[in-house]
């Protein structure tokens, strides 16, 4: 699985687990809701500072979010 898609799915799964809307996550990360949607769909690569802001808004460290995306991609059988 493409890392962008895996990253987006992990962001979406964590957001839903924490019962946040895209709008609330975007607000907490100081990003636009449309940007969060594009990241979740794997349609755009989050800049490092944006990825860190998303992780922080989800209560995670960036390294944890990236590790989860790598593991998600590996579990799907495509790294």
Can you give the CATH number for the domain in which 48 is found?
A: 1.10.260.40
Q: Write down the pLDDT at residue 17.
A: 97
How many domains does the chain fold into?
1
């989860």: which residue's tokens?
A: 68
- Tens digit of pLDDT for each residue in 3-30? 999 999 999 999 999 999 999 999 999 9
Q: Are 68 and 59 in contact (CB under 8 A)?
A: no
Domain of residue 62 covers 3-75
**Rounded Cα–Cα distance for residues 25 and 58 (Å):** 7
Q: What is the pTM of this model?
A: 0.92
């Amino acid at each position: 699985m493409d890392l962008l898609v895996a990253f987006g799915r992990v962001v979406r799964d964590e957001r839903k687990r924490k019962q946040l809307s895209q709008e609330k996550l975007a607000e907490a990360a100081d990003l636009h809701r449309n940007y969060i949607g594009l990241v979740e769909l794997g349609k755009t690569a989050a800049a490092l500072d944006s990825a860190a802001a998303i992780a922080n808004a989800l209560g995670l460290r960036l390294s944890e979010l990236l590790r989860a995306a790598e593991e998600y991609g590996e579990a799907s059988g495509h790294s």
